[in-house]
Amino acid sequence: MKECEHRLKNFEAKAYIDDFSLITIVAKKSFSIVPSFGLLQTDGIVHSLTILKQENYNQRYIYKCKSPIQLKMGKDYWIKINGNQIPLKIGSIVRTDQFDSLFFDDGLLGAQYTPNSTVFRVWSPVAVEMQLRYKVFGESDFLEASMERTEKGVWHFTLQGDHHLTQYIYRAKVNHEWVEAADPYARSVTINGERSVVIDLRKTDPDQWQRSEKRMNLRSKIDSIIYELHIRDFTIHPESGVKHKGKYLGITEKNTKTSKGNITGLDYLTSLGITHVQLMPVADFGSVDETKPNTQYNWGYDPVHFFAPEGSYATEPNNPVCRIKELKTLIRTLQDNGLSVILDVVFNHVYKLEESSFEKLVPGYYFRYDDGGNPVNGTGVGNDTASERKMVRKFILDALLYWLNEYKVDGFRFDLMGIHDVETMNIAASKLKSLNPGIFLLGEGWDLNTNLDPEKRANLSSAKVLPDYSFFNDSFRDSVKGSIFTGGTAGFINGNQDLSIMDQILRSIKGYAGKNDKFLSAKQSINYTECHDNHTLYDLLKIRHPHENEMQRKKRQKLALAFTLFSRGVPFIHSGQEFYRTKHGVENSYNMPDRINAFNWHECEKYENDVKYFQELIKIRNEQPVFRDEAGSVNQLHELPEGILGVEIKHPLTDKKVKCSYWQKVLLLFNQSLKAAEIPIHQGSWKIAVENESSVVRNLDSNTYLINPLSFSLLFVKR
């Protein structure tokens, strides 16, 4: 057989199963004689193939052939060509509806541990054979066991005894070759994710962890403020005062201070008034060598193992229990201190398609392809997962439910959610909400060029059929600060007075909600002007206003902060934004060193008064329903001086039991110009809550108000 294949290399033909009776043969050169194709079975029987179509494409000679028999998955076949033969490999058959229907299995997958036995299950309908290679804890040699296949293509094997910490990997015969693949459902892995590990999850629980407890986060989305941080960034700086710098445990330490005595870490987080901490990816990713975690850096948007925590953030990355236990400890510590936890999850792609367990076990199934059989690249990183396929959907749902049940998190942020399909996302929301009605779901709803019908994409255009999801609102972002690209349109805080910008600003304050707008309600709008992507706002303002002084640029940033906190919707803050975080002009810092990405505690200390101002604004938002309740009216003030935006928000306060300290109406005043301006104020018992970058309540004793250049003021009338 090998000799025949060697002789055939002169024209380098390949053959693929594209449907249950359709075979495609691709040759680099034309045949000197009319080809005769046959299908060879393992028992030696040969079936003649009928050529249905012949075409030339991209210097390839393509033959579409019909098989007289139905091809079976899990069997080896060869194609005989004029007396020679080549292996028949898996083609686009795995992307047919029939394949999905025949081989969908909703049973348990992965290693199911009990003290008496562990059952291993892996889905690979196309594998001809499957072996379990495993090494018992404390032993040096690997053992092998042949696995059995169900009609749905699930291979299974049971190991008797207690196999906590047993390392394992699957060895599959796929496309006539043996490949090794880690378990896609592995709960933990060895260092750098080379092998899967059986885990007794009870041994990963921190003290006082209640396995039966269910988190019931009942805080409304509209009452939430999200604060995004990266595990390593937050404590790696020399001035963090943290022992476990750059680790999960670093954020659990209390009473940490800078060398000058200012609070840091967990105490700092709890002092801000935020409600949710959004952790950038903590699932195992591929770009950092866990044996040398301090020599490399990455945000973590390059997933490898979707059920296992990242090891570089653990104090012992070579300990499969440690990474789980320390991440659980972090989550529980944040929750015990009044903060809900959102995980940033990345299901839209894998780190390297060809090296992923998905591709090794079921080639071509888990990803989207174009008509030429090439992976599509809507994500921009080389591959798009196909959430609309049944076993991909099952994988995503299983992973989400696992993180919810095992780690007891409070929400999920979906990276590049527009890659996913609406049906999968709605099923996910339904299942998650049945376990935690208050779970916070949000995502990036960008419209990406992937091979999925536009109306099926879970992007911003589909917001009204995805009612349980909030979306990063780029219209809010762009109206306030302008384009993320330095040469693009400026936003309000940069001096843009165009009517279109003013219209968008008013819609932003209203939360882009309503029958004729983006969202069903303002709680679907994630209001932000900065996140981990692109330039920090400080760096962008420095580029846009190179001739302004530092103070002027910081005033513009405070304007953006006021828009974020006092518009209807969900405020989203990038960690360090409150003290003008800089990444020294680096636009995309995903793999930059700590000197670029670290949360700079020295700068936080330097701008202590600005942080206090941030805290004061948050306190006002948290205490006053007028900024969160959508029942009241929002109206723009007219005939104001140039560069001034004034918005009046009224709260109905119909409930007689409502607190007398609640505000009935407020005036939001924004001055984008470099000049002070006199603003007429209509009659009422107005008080000033915020002016000149501080919160201090005083009466307004006239019918005009002087607002300073580049500043925000907040006036109110009590009930």
Which residues are identified as catalytic? 415, 444
HSE-up of residue 87 (Cα within 13 Å, Cβ side): 13
- CA 161 vs. chain centroid, Å, equals 38
- CA 437 vs. chain centroid, Å, equals 21
**Is the separation of the CB atoms in 389 and 423 below 8 Å?**
no
Q: Is 47 exposed, middle or buried (0-12, 13-18, 19+ CB in 10 A)?
A: middle
**Is the separation of the CB atoms in 400 and 345 below 8 Å?**
yes
Which has the closest alpha carbon to 665: 679, 676, 651?
651
Q: What angle do CA 283, 289, 292 make, to 5 degrees?
A: 120
Q: Render the burial of 507-531: b for 16+ CB within 10 Å, e for the rest.
A: bbbbbbbeeebbbebbbbbbbbbbb
**Is the separation of the CB atoms in 314 and 349 below 8 Å?**
no
Question: How does strand 78-81 pair with strand 84-90?
Answer: antiparallel
| CA pair distance 97, 115, nearest whole angstrom | 40
In the sheet that holds 687-691, the strands lie side by side as: 634-636, 644-650, 663-671, 711-718, 687-691, 694-699
Which has the closest alpha carbon to 663: 650, 680, 646?
650
Q: Is 58 left (phi over 0), alpha (psi -120 to 50) or beta?
A: left
Q: What angle do CA 8, 9, 11 make, to 5 degrees?
A: 85
| CA pair distance 433, 429, nearest whole angstrom | 6
DSSP secondary-structure letter at 419? Answer: G
| CA pair distance 329, 339, nearest whole angstrom | 14
Q: Is 404 left (phi over 0), alpha (psi -120 to 50) or beta?
A: alpha
Rg (CA), the chain: 29
| CA pair distance 38, 65, nearest whole angstrom | 10
Which has the closest alpha carbon to 558: 536, 586, 583, 580?
580
DSSP secondary-structure letter at 49? Answer: P
Give the three-class secondary structure for 272.
Answer: helix
Which CA distances in Å does 100 have to 125, 289, 392, 428, 655?
Answer: 10, 36, 10, 19, 54
In the sheet that holds 60-66, the strands lie side by side as: 46-48, 37-40, 78-81, 84-90, 14-19, 22-27, 60-66, 50-57
Structure tokens at 654: 């119909």
Q: What angle do CA 562, 568, 569 make, to 5 degrees?
A: 105
Structure tokens at 104: 């969908």
Structure tokens at 611: 């942080």
| CA pair distance 497, 490, nearest whole angstrom | 9
Please, which residues have CB within 8 angstroms of residue 34's CB and are 6 or more apart in sequence? none
**Is the separation of the CB atoms in 362 and 94 below 8 Å?**
yes
Which has the closest alpha carbon to 103: 147, 72, 132, 131?
72
Structure tokens at 409: 């998190």
